[in-house]
């Protein structure tokens, strides 16, 4: 029996697992003991990865749609030439930007780098990723406050903090290992605080829960800042030496007296004061935010208002502190820096002349062939397809027919495309229904590459299972199309994931994310490596759990962190008489993953979760409307759509909200086409709605 260590490619924890393989089959999976992230633990999703052995069809070939609507199976070479030919033809006929790509934070570093190279550099067009649906707000917020998209914490900080504040974050369901680490916390009297309108699983297990009104976080955090400043609780030593714009910020938050906070959040004066005192009393306060913050109409400023509190109280760069964003997908951190979509490889702006020259030299192309501007954001791509401006789309490792906000807009777009390539491990996903080409690639268990987890740790994916006939990876598939496009010398240095990894190592040199000291072979079977890890200085960075900002130097030109703030906006979807309820959305259970294409990989999920869409309704609301557990309701959204759900009655949601798990396509039928203005991330948790009970047949 052979033991192969690899990385779980579901969530951003990037647990490492030891797969025991016999005769080409996984016979046992054990979370890697001693791995600094998950040390012998994992959740059910990682333990169930071996089910891909049976759920993913072996030896599949590409399929091309024929004139009569049927599919014809073709060889990989035919598939590559067909797609390459069509991409070029569309560009010639309709213009360079008439084709686009949508990528993901669930591929390896090497896979989205080569995709970004082919589509953004060589074909000079737009590629966005599902990272836009998830981490874009955090990325923009980090850049503004810290000067670079660099969350500074290490997971150890969860064990070292005396005051842990989770904001719009439900780790018990979404990041079980984060919760495991919280439970390992031995600091005497440490406090767990949750800020979430819903009494989420995490809120139910916390010491304090502040059930504020939806989208009122920004006003709450400015109010808290005002209380802290007025009471003289500012850490002046830190603020004076390490930050800029404090005076302006202090002046600005004067307009947020406690009454304003009470009015906006629905919390009492006593609750807000209690929270301010908890922050002040803590010696090591850490703030952790996730999608309840990132997915709003003023998400970037809200994320920054959290970082402002950390700066104000000097809770950064020390053990157990930080204004910390928790990442969602296994490699969202990698895609933010290396997908060539919103920044050059390694994080610089597209206009940075010195970086352009350096990067072009490393990857072996003419400088002019590097992408010249950030990609159009996701919503502009979908709008562009619906407007008939974009005619070709290459979609990989994401399922927007289900996950995109106001998802009927994707359904109509998919029907308008002349070329619609879907590259996935399951041809049954909703997005593949209207595709014109389907590329079946192998799952993570059969490929190699690198992931970067939420605390900046590079982690290896290594092939666990042998490949069958015709089985190729995403990397090889993209490379195949690249060659068929005639990229010639422009793709010569990209022959394998390992070669690509070496290019990216070189590219990262001198950047904040410098991982030039991480070698492919050394990463195999290792404890992973957090960036930065510069070549030649390995001994300085030998510690396995490192945090940034310990030296109090940030990545802004002045080296100081910035207070960034702005007057809160009007909610674009306030509750009204017509739409009196908030339509809150999020993760339903530990075993369910996003659009559920991979749920078949997870043990027990099929048995314990409902096949049909459901949502949660407050007990009082249900009683008033004569709705019982198991009844069906039709929900009418402010976006003009309606959909049917089964009701679960609970006191864990507020009277004014419905909570719909995202794992059913009905959920995003009802979410709005509305975005944060800086990050263009969808306001996924912000729709309003009304409902009617459906008579039982
Ligand atoms: N089992 C499982 N785990 C997952 C995933 C999965 O699909 N399944 N997906 C992964 C991914 S990609 C991501 S991004 C993460 C997401 O992880 P989380 O962000 O933790 O999960 P969500 O349930 O989307 O949202 C968290 C909370 O935000 C709250 N919320 C809604 N509106 C507001 C508001 O206005 N203010 C505040 N403060 N809170 C609000 C919701 O009530 C919800 O409890 O999970 C990752 N882990
Ligand atoms: N209302 C609402 N909507 C949301 C959210 C929310 O909180 N509320 N959250 C948003 C967030 S944070 C996210 S991250 C998105 C997620 O949305 P999606 O990315 O659309 O969801 P997934 O189901 O993870 O899709 C991944 C796809 O990749 C395929 N796949 C798996 N492994 C491989 C591989 O190795 N190669 C290839 N080519 N394919 C593979 C899977 O079969 C699946 O079809 O949803 C967003 N949508
Ligand atoms: S889904 Fe996340 S927590 Fe669960 S095993 Fe995978 S990486 Fe670990
Ligand atoms: Mo996500």
pLDDT digit string (tens) for 19-34? 999 999 999 999 999 9
Kindly report the CATH number assigned to the domain that includes residue 657.
Answer: 2.40.40.20
Among the listed residues 21, 76, 193, 65, the one whose alpha carbon sits nearest the alpha carbon of residue 478: 76
3-state SS class at 387: coil
Return the bridge partners of 193, or none: 165, 208
Please measure the distance between the N-terminal and C-terminal CA atoms of the chain and give it in whole angstroms: 56
Kindly report the CATH number assigned to the domain that includes residue 295.
Answer: 3.40.228.10
The rounded Å distance from CA 594 to ligand 2 centre is: 6
CB atoms within 10 A of CB 613: 19
- Residues whose beta carbon lies within 6 Å of some atom of ligand 3: 8, 10-11, 13-15, 38, 42-43, 45-46, 176-177
Pocket test for ligand 2, best of 101, 133, 414, 639 (most atoms within 8 A of CB): 133
Q: Locate the ligand 2 atom nearest the alpha carbon of residue 403 and give its number.
A: 47
CA distances from 206 to 49, 200, 602 (A): 31, 10, 28
The rounded Å distance from CA 602 to ligand 4 centre is: 18
Q: Which residue's C-alpha comes closest to atom 1 of ligand 1? A: 590
- Residues whose beta carbon lies within 6 Å of some atom of ligand 2: 104, 106, 130, 133-134, 291, 295, 328-329, 396-400, 403, 423-426, 429, 441, 443-444, 474, 585-586, 593-595, 597-598, 662, 667-668, 671, 684
Query: What confidence score (pLDDT) does residue 573 get?
Result: 98
User: 223 pLDDT exceeds 50?
Assistant: yes
Kindly report the CATH number assigned to the domain that includes residue 21.
Answer: 3.30.200.210
Q: Cis peptide before 640, with omega less than 30 degrees from 0?
A: no
User: 605 pLDDT exceeds 60?
Assistant: yes
pLDDT in tens, 265-277: 999 999 999 999 9
Report the distance separating Cα 192 and Cα 182, nearest Å.
Answer: 9
Q: Are strands 71-73 and 63-65 parallel, antiparallel or unpaired?
A: antiparallel
Residue 559 lies in a domain: no
- Whether residue 418 sits in one domain with residue 294: no
Task: Identify the burial level of 421 via C-beta atoms within 10 angstroms of its C-beta, where 0-12 means exposed, 13-18 middle and 19 or more buried.
Answer: buried
Q: Is ligand 1 within 6 A of the CB of residue 594?
A: yes
Both tokens of 160, joined, read 């070292």
- Whether residue 309 sits in one domain with residue 270: yes
The rounded Å distance from CA 174 to ligand 1 centre is: 7
Q: Which residue's C-alpha comes closest to atom 8 of ligand 3? A: 15
Q: Minimum-distance ligand to the CA of 177?
A: 3
Tell me, rounded to whole angstroms, the distance of Cα 418 from its chain centroid.
29
- Whether residue 532 sits in one domain with residue 396: yes
pLDDT in tens, 431-464: 999 999 999 999 999 999 999 999 999 999 999 9
Q: Which residue's C-alpha comes closest to atom 4 of ligand 3? A: 43
Within 8 A by CB and 6+ apart from 19, the residues are: 3, 4, 5, 6, 26, 28, 29, 50, 445, 464
Q: Which residue's C-alpha comes closest to atom 2 of ligand 3? A: 11
How large a percentage of the chain has pLDDT more than 90? 98
The rounded Å distance from CA 14 to ligand 3 centre is: 6
- Whether residue 91 sits in one domain with residue 23: no
Return the bridge partners of 458, or none: 452, 529
State the average pLDDT over residues 586-611.
Answer: 89
Residue at a domain's end among 509, 541, 573: 541
pLDDT in tens, 282-310: 999 999 999 999 999 999 999 999 999 99
Residue 564 lies in a domain: no
pLDDT in tens, 627-675: 999 999 999 999 999 999 999 999 999 999 999 999 999 999 999 999 9
Helix-then-strand count for the chain, H and E: 27, 26
State the average pLDDT over residues 590-597.
Answer: 95
Q: Minimum-distance ligand to the CA of 49?
A: 3
Among the listed residues 372, 374, 399, 400, the one whose alpha carbon sits nearest the alpha carbon of residue 386: 400
- Whether residue 280 sits in one domain with residue 217: yes
DSSP letter for 58, please: T
The rounded Å distance from CA 311 to ligand 3 centre is: 31
The rounded Å distance from CA 397 to ligand 2 centre is: 7
Mean per-residue pLDDT of the chain: 97
Query: What confidence score (pLDDT) does residue 498 get?
Result: 98
Q: Which residue has the tokens 């000291």?
A: 517
- Whether residue 146 sits in one domain with residue 129: no
Q: Locate the ligand 2 atom nearest the alpha carbon of residue 104 and give its number.
A: 19
State the average pLDDT over residues 486-504.
Answer: 98
User: 696 pLDDT exceeds 60?
Assistant: no
Kindly report the CATH number assigned to the domain that includes residue 481.
Answer: 3.40.50.740
CA distances from 586 to 98, 211, 323, 426 (A): 33, 16, 22, 23
Q: Minimum-distance ligand to the CA of 57?
A: 2
Query: What confidence score (pLDDT) does residue 294 get?
Result: 98
Report the distance separating Cα 549 and Cα 400, nearest Å.
Answer: 37
Pocket test for ligand 2, best of 46, 79, 106 (most atoms within 8 A of CB): 106
Query: What confidence score (pLDDT) does residue 607 get?
Result: 74
Q: Minimum-distance ligand to the CA of 595?
A: 2
Full residue range of the structural domain in which residue 232 is found: 136-325
- Whether residue 336 sits in one domain with residue 484: yes
Residue 563 lies in a domain: no
Residue at a domain's end among 325, 340, 374: 325
Residue 305 near residue 80 (C-beta atoms within 8 A) = no
Task: Identify the burial level of 426 via C-beta atoms within 10 angstroms of its C-beta, where 0-12 means exposed, 13-18 middle and 19 or more buried.
Answer: middle
3-state SS class at 665: helix
DSSP letter for 523, please: H
The rounded Å distance from CA 516 to ligand 1 centre is: 33
- Whether residue 377 sits in one domain with residue 451: yes
Pocket test for ligand 2, best of 214, 399, 448, 585 (most atoms within 8 A of CB): 399
CA distances from 632 to 225, 595, 609, 657 (A): 44, 21, 17, 17
The rounded Å distance from CA 382 to ligand 2 centre is: 17
- Whether residue 356 sits in one domain with residue 308: no
Return the bridge partners of 63, or none: 73, 438
Residue at a domain's end among 325, 350, 369: 325
Spatial strand order in the sheet of 449-452:
449-452, 457-461, 529-530
DSSP 300-337: HHHHHHHHHHHHHTT-SSSTT-EEEEPP-BTTHHHHHH
The rounded Å distance from CA 385 to ligand 4 centre is: 24
Residue 497 near residue 108 (C-beta atoms within 8 A) = yes
Residue 550 lies in a domain: no
User: 425 pLDDT exceeds 80?
Assistant: yes
The runs of H, that is alpha helices, within 339-461 are 353-363, 378-386, 400-403, 408-416
How many domains does one find in the chain?
A: 4
Residue 548 lies in a domain: no
Q: Which residue's C-alpha comes closest to atom 13 of ligand 1? A: 328
The rounded Å distance from CA 554 to ligand 1 centre is: 28
The rounded Å distance from CA 45 to ligand 3 centre is: 6
Query: What confidence score (pLDDT) does residue 603 get?
Result: 82
Helix (H) or strand (E) holding 632: strand 632-637
CB atoms within 10 A of CB 70: 8
- Whether residue 159 sits in one domain with residue 286: yes
Residue 589 lies in a domain: yes
Residue 552 lies in a domain: no
b/e burial code for range 96-115 (CB count within 10 A of at least 16 → b): ebbbbbbbbbbbbbbbbbbb
How large a percentage of the chain has pLDDT more than 70? 100
Residue 203 lies in a domain: yes
State the average pLDDT over residues 422-439.
Answer: 98
Query: What confidence score (pLDDT) does residue 697 get?
Result: 47
CA distances from 165 to 100, 188, 213, 578, 585 (A): 40, 16, 17, 35, 21
CB atoms within 10 A of CB 656: 17
Pocket test for ligand 2, best of 497, 586, 595 (most atoms within 8 A of CB): 595
Report the distance separating Cα 21 and Cα 27, nearest Å.
Answer: 6
Tell me, rounded to whole angstroms, the distance of Cα 454 from its chain centroid.
10
Q: Is ligand 1 within 6 A of the CB of residue 134?
A: yes
- Whether residue 76 sits in one domain with residue 218: no
The rounded Å distance from CA 585 to ligand 1 centre is: 8
Return the bridge partners of 402, or none: none
- Whether residue 648 sits in one domain with residue 523: no
Q: Which residue's C-alpha comes closest to atom 10 of ligand 1? A: 328
């Amino acid at each position: 029996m052979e033991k192969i260590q690899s990385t779980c490619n579901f969530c951003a924890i990037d647990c490492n697992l030891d797969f025991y393989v016999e005769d080409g089959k996984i016979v046992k999976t054990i979370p890697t003991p001693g791995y600094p992230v998950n040390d012998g633990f994992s959740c059910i999703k990682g333990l169930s990865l071996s089910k891909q052995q049976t759920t993913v069809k072996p030896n599949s070939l590409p399929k091309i749609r024929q004139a009569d609507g049927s599919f014809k199976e073709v060889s990989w070479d035919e598939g590559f030439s067909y797609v390459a030919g069509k991409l070029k033809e569309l560009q010639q006929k309709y213009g360079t930007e008439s084709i686009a790509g949508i990528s993901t934070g669930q591929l390896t570093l090497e896979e989205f780098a080569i995709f970004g190279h082919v589509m953004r550099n060589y074909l000079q067009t737009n590629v966005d990723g599902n990272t836009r649906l998830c981490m874009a707000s955090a990325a923009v917020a980090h850049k503004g406050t810290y000067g670079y998209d660099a969350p500074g914490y290490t997971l150890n900080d969860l064990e070292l903090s005396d005051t842990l504040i989770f904001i719009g974050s439900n780790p018990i369901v979404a990041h079980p290992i984060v919760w495991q680490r919280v439970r390992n916390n031995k600091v005497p009297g440490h406090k767990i605080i949750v800020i979430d309108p819903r009494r989420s699983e995490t809120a139910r297990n916390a010491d304090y829960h502040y059930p504020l009104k939806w989208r009122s976080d920004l006003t709450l955090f400015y109010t808290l800042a005002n209380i802290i400043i007025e009471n003289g609780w500012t850490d002046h030593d830190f603020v004076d030496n390490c930050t800029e714009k404090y005076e302006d910020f202090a002046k600005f938050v004067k307009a947020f007296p406690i009454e304003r906070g009470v009015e906006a959040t629905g919390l009492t004066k006593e609750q807000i004061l209690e929270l301010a005192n908890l922050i002040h009393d803590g010696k090591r306060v850490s703030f952790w935010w996730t999608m309840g913050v990132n997915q709003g109409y003023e998400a970037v400023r809200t994320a920054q208002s959290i970082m402002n509190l950390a700066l104000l109280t000097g809770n950064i760069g020390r053990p157990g502190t930080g204004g910390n964003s928790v990442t969602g997908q296994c490699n969202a951190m990698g895609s933010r820096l290396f997908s060539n979509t919103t920044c050059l490889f390694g994080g610089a702006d597209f206009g940075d002349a010195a970086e352009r020259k350096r990067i072009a030299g490393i990857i072996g192309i003419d400088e002019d062939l590097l992408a010249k501007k950030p990609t159009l954001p996701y919503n502009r791509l979908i709008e562009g397809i619906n407007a008939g401006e974009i005619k070709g789309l290459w979609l990989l490792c994401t399922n927007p027919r289900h996950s995109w906000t106001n998802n009927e807009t994707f359904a109509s777009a998919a029907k308008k495309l002349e070329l619609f390539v879907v590259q996935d491990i399951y041809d049954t996903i909703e997005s593949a229904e209207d595709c014109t080409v389907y590329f079946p690639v192998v799952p993570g268990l059969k490929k190699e590459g690198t992931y970067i987890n939420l605390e900046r740790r590079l982690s290896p994916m290594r092939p666990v299972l042998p490949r069958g006939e015709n089985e190729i990876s995403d990397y090889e598939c993209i490379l195949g199309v690249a060659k068929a496009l005639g990229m010639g010398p422009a793709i010569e240095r990209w022959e394998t994931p390992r070669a690509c990894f070496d290019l990216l190592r070189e590219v990262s040199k001198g950047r904040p994310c410098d991982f030039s000291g991480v070698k492919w072979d050394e990463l195999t079977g290792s404890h992973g490596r957090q960036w930065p890890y510069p070549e030649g200085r390995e001994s300085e960075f030998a510690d396995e759990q490192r945090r940034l900002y310990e030296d109090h130097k940030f990545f802004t030109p002045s080296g100081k962190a910035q207070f960034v703030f702005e007057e809160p906006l009007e909610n674009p979807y306030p509750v009204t008489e017509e739409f009196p309820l908030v339509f809150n959305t999020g993760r339903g259970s530990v075993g369910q993953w996003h659009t559920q294409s991979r749920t078949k990989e997870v043990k027990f999920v099929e048995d314990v979760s409902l096949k049909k869409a459901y949502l949660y309704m407050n007990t009082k609301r249900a009683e008033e409307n004569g709705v019982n557990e198991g009844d069906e309701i039709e929900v009418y959204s402010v976006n003009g759509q309606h959909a049917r759900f089964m009701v679960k009655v609970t006191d864990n949601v507020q009277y004014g909200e419905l909570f719909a798990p995202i794992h059913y396509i009905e959920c995003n039928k009802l979410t709005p086409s509305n975005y944060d203005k800086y990050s263009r991330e969808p306001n996924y948790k912000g729709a309003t709605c009304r409902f009617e009970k459906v008579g039982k047949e």
